[in-house]
Structure 1
Amino acid sequence: MPSPLSPAAVDALRALTPGAQSTTHFNHAGASLPSSATLEAMRAHLWREATMGPMEAGIAGREQSERARLLAARLLNARPAEIALTSGNSAGWGRAFAALGPWRSGERILVGRHEWGGNLAAMRLSAQRAGATIEVIPSDSSGAVDPQALEAMLDDRVRLIALTWLPANGGLINPAAAIGQVARRHGIPYFIDAAQAVGQLPVDVAEVGCDVLTGPCRKALRGPRGTGLLYVREDFLSRLTPAFVDIRSAPLGADGEPVLRDDAVRFEAAEAAPALHCGLANALEEALEIGVENIRAQIDSVAQALRGQLAEIPGVTVLDQGRERSGLVAFNIAGLEAASVQRSLADQGISIGSNGVPYTPLDMESRGLKQIARASVSYLTTETEIGRLLDGIRKLATQ
């Protein structure tokens, strides 16, 4: 049975995390703090490159890339052949979306209200060129995407259902598996942006029923910035033709013609960052050793405590929606801009995030929000850190 980590376990993990000794970090949803072992894995490879030559050190790098692929497959309950290693969430999502091919006039894309702004940009550009449409799936009373409302919208012109599982602007968790059941029942491609979910929630691609799932590794996984995961369901791969290929994704055959890889590596490039993959392999192994179910229990416990105490501060409004919530805690302080709150806390050595409309435009506009402050927790977060953050917010709220 999953359970929160003990204080001793948290202290032990923090002792192996250099950043935990020097900063009060509440921006884990932006990028979390890597462990010493992850840093050492990257340093060791860079040293091999410096002493052996970068290309000569590539053999060890390739081994670690494949190790990262195997570990990522375990994390997502996927096959290694269904995993591509990318440079980040947008890189993976954008490549998969572009591989759907040209759009036609009248075709429809259905999205949740919480869709990431970068994904919307890619979809809108393609839709505008072709005369396709992007339509928003209604949300239920909790703010989450409504599977029944989605089903009522479907017809034979719907070519894609896209969902951002955990929004960037707050703690809501969308019902990814329920949306997947609708998509599978009607045979409609289903893309999940799991940027905030991977490493924070248990993710089972078979259970959620997606065709494509993407996530960066710098957030809850505590991997290196510049790494990401792209899952493509094996039976769906043949429907995707990458917009860009090279010698790795589509090597030339004996006749000189490109031969697309028959696995998700068709979305990888020949030029990669082996040192980052070494760090990624270590970060994935650490998450699996802790257990994502336990990570989820710990983050949920910490986030609930923070929400409850924030709500008691006069002048502070907690903005999280949803029946089930994540480790992202959104709030505003009356009379203060979120970016100003972020800067003021940074002056005190406390890191938080602040989001404007472009990050989650549909949801922000629907709720009349122009900005939010965001304190995102990790399984590394302690009561002492929460107390420090709350003290800083109290001071700002009474100015």
Structure 2
Amino acid sequence: MDIAALRNDTPGCAHRVHLNNAGAALLSRRTLDTMTSYLELEARIGGYEAANEQLPAIEAVYGAIAELIGGRPEEVALFDNATHAWEAAFYSVRFRPGDRILTGRSEYGSNVLAYLHVAQRTGAEIVVVPNDESGQLDTAALADLVDERVKLVGVSHVPTSGGLVNPVAAIGRITRRAGVPFLLDATQSVGQFPVDVEEIGCDMLSATGRKFLRGPRGTGFLWVRPGVLDRLEPAVNETAASVWDGKRGFTWREGARRFGTWEMSYSNVLGLGSAVRQALELGPDAIGGRARELGAALRERIDEVPGVRTYDLGRERCAIVTASVEAVAAPDVKAALARHGVNVSVTTPETSHLDDEERGVHPLVRLSPHYYNTEDELDRAVAVLADLARSVQPR
């Protein structure tokens, strides 16, 4: 990769050390130009007219996403965020009393709330699969738990609260053998490293545009395997999802489009398409290799600082690094980094319910580099953490 050129094409790199790519990555100039050009077209000729004129480009976004994750365009539906995409899949599964939902300790907070909602409403049961000794989901325990009562396995590929990468291909082999639908939350993984739905073996996958894909906020997508469609009943119906028969009936549209909605921001859609194409051009393998290297380098640097420690779990880890400074609250660490021009996030128990239930470590500072970051930027962030740690040590 030509890192200098990539940084030059990323306006935000000139002003901040952006280590918050697990929150929202920096837009490239090409993506920004794509979005503003479309908005200018809407302003000149009208919203419906602009969409009609750009329809081929809009439709091409489905194909680009499919290429990125190893699917087909008709298997993709677009959404305004990853949570709505995930919910469209989850709430299409019909649960009854006694049905089981299997999930892991690293599951995202919104997903857990949806599980609780459905459990309270239907009498289904939530079963949390334990972690193994490394902190990743224990696939042997999962295999033991899968039986005729299990209606869904829902797992986060990478948690919002750490660098863990769950063994999703092994999970997919288990669910395929058992014939149980597998819903994968790939919000933190798509765009950070290669994600292939056939290799993983999931049946549904949700993701966002704003994180490691470097797309705009307000974008997300859902991929659905055709073979699972007859087991799903979309929870919402509208003109984009079905075709009226002219009387009192309708038929669902083919493929994943039955989960989508008619109205959307086409400026955002085209921005997402631009970001996906850039990821394809750079190559998911190259992106993943550099992101993992930066994450490992940052984790190693932090662990060398007295009074600062990291908390990431799993045998395989990615570019998300969680840390704490002894005797300093995580929001105060974030504020100190911000004063030095470094962007980070803070994890919370509310977004990591099941993980915090077991470990009780949140809130933590979350630092997440991406391929356009440099080692010098990592050093700047670690220097701030080291100064902060020294400042609170007893004299």
Q: Pick the TM interval, shorter chain.
A: over 0.9
Alpha-carbon displacement from aligned partner over 1:220-246 (angstroms, at most 9, x marks no partner): 110011111100001111222211111
Residue 55 of structure 1 aligns to a residue whose secondary structure is helix
RMSD, aligned CA: 1.0
5 Å-filtered alignment, 1:124-273, equals: 124-273=116-265
**Structure 1 unpaired stretches of 5+:** none
Which residue of 2 is the match for residue 349 of structure 1? 341
C-alpha distance in structure 2 between counterparts of 1:212 and 1:362, whole Å: 22
Residue 174 of structure 1 aligns to a residue whose secondary structure is coil
TM-score normalised per structure 2: 0.97
Which residue of 2 is the match for residue 69 of structure 1? 62
Residue 215 of structure 1 aligns to a residue whose secondary structure is strand
C-alpha distance in structure 2 between counterparts of 1:107 and 1:243, whole Å: 18
C-alpha distance in structure 2 between counterparts of 1:148 and 1:389, whole Å: 39
C-alpha distance in structure 2 between counterparts of 1:189 and 1:60, whole Å: 39
Say whether 1:325 aligns with 2:317. yes
Alpha-carbon displacement from aligned partner over 1:261-297 (angstroms, at most 9, x marks no partner): 0111111111111111111111111000000000000
C-alpha distance in structure 1 between counterparts of 2:108 and 2:57, whole Å: 31
Amino acid at match of 2:353: P
Which residue of 1 is the match for residue 89 of structure 2? 96
User: Contact 2:193 / 2:289 at 8 angstroms: preserved in 1?
Assistant: no
Amino acid at match of 2:55: R
Residue 68 of structure 1 aligns to a residue whose secondary structure is helix
C-alpha distance in structure 2 between counterparts of 1:241 and 1:66, whole Å: 25
**What is the deviation of 1:62?**
2.8
5 Å-filtered alignment, 1:285-300, equals: 285-300=277-292
C-alpha distance in structure 1 between counterparts of 2:367 and 2:55, whole Å: 37
Residue 234 of structure 2 aligns to a residue whose secondary structure is coil
Amino acid at match of 1:208: I
Amino acid at match of 2:198: A
Indicate the percent of aligned positions where both proteins have the same amino acid. 39
User: Contact 2:82 / 2:220 at 8 angstroms: preserved in 1?
Assistant: yes
**What is the deviation of 1:395?**
1.4
C-alpha distance in structure 2 between counterparts of 1:240 and 1:130, whole Å: 16
User: Contact 1:18 / 1:36 at 8 angstroms: preserved in 2?
Assistant: yes
**Structure 2 unpaired stretches of 5+:** none
How many aligned positions are there?
A: 391
Which residue of 2 is the match for residue 122 of structure 1? 114
Say whether 1:53 aligns with 2:36. no
Alpha-carbon displacement from aligned partner over 1:352-372 (angstroms, at most 9, x marks no partner): 010111111111221121311
Which of 9, 12, 35 is the equivalent residue of 2:5?
Answer: 12
Larger CA deviation: 232-241 vs 249-258: 249-258
**What is the deviation of 1:61?**
3.8
Amino acid at match of 2:8: A
C-alpha distance in structure 2 between counterparts of 1:27 and 1:112, whole Å: 24
Which residue of 1 is the match for residue 16 of structure 2? 23
Residue 192 of structure 1 aligns to a residue whose secondary structure is strand
5 Å-filtered alignment, 1:30-49, equals: 30-49=23-42
User: Contact 1:61 / 1:278 at 8 angstroms: preserved in 2?
Assistant: no
**What is the deviation of 1:256?**
4.9
C-alpha distance in structure 1 between counterparts of 2:87 and 2:251, whole Å: 22
C-alpha distance in structure 1 between counterparts of 2:331 and 2:137, whole Å: 28
User: Contact 1:61 / 1:275 at 8 angstroms: preserved in 2?
Assistant: no
